Amino acid sequence: MKNGEKNWMVLYTRSRWEKKVDQLLKDQNFNSFCPLVKTNRQWVDRNKVVEVPLFRSYLFVQANHQEQSRIMQTSGVVNFISHCGKPATINDTEIERIKLIVKQYTDIEAISLENINIGDSVKVINGPLLNHKGEIAQVQGRSVVMVIDNINCALTVKINRKELSHTNQLLFS
């Protein structure tokens, strides 16, 4: 990454601070993105639809090398997620894909990959993820777990098995 070039980086935040950190970064004129999904929460006296972060304790920020120290000073920021000793970067295409998934699908959740073994390589042949190639970690009914590199998470998207075909290529190649 060149010093002046802005890249999407992954931030690790304090627990339950994702939306707050996102707003604090936007208040500082940073381009940040905290993917939110609507979910039904049940309390003893009522049910309510609330927006919760798709990735717990993670959010994305677009910044250059000089801006990283200013971002680290933001309340609620724990650290940048690193890969090979440098902040992990996500390309614009993947950020747009996450935005599209959050917009198009209603039943989405992120799950940790720590205990999941990667399986078949597939290609999506229909829908908003058309031609998207990935490795499937799990298939149960219509639920497909697809791996996203660099953030140690996966997206669970309700997609029909008929919309997948086998391939030998890896995710985000």
Q: What would the pLDDT profile of 1-17 be if each residue is shown by its tens digit?
A: 566 789 999 999 999 99
CATH number of 104-166: 2.30.30.30
Answer for the pair 25, 71: CB distance below 8 angstroms, yes or no.
yes
Do domains 7-90 and 104-166 share one topology? The answer is no
Amino acid at 159: I
Q: Is 15 left (phi over 0), alpha (psi -120 to 50) or beta?
A: beta
- Please, which residues bridge with residue 155 across strands? 110, 146
Domain boundaries, the chain: 7-90, 104-166
Averaged confidence pLDDT in the chain: 78
Answer for the pair 52, 36: CB distance below 8 angstroms, yes or no.
yes
Decide if pLDDT at 25 tops 70. Answer: yes
* Alpha-helical segments (H) within the chain: 18-27, 68-72, 92-104
State percent of the chain over pLDDT 90: 35
Class of domain 7-90: alpha beta
Q: What is the mean pLDDT of residues 107-122?
A: 57
Model confidence band, residue 147 (pLDDT cutoffs 50, 70, 90): low
Q: Which residue has the higher pLDDT, 97 or 118?
A: 97
Report pLDDT digits (tens) over 33-63. Answer: 999 988 888 888 989 988 999 988 999 999 9
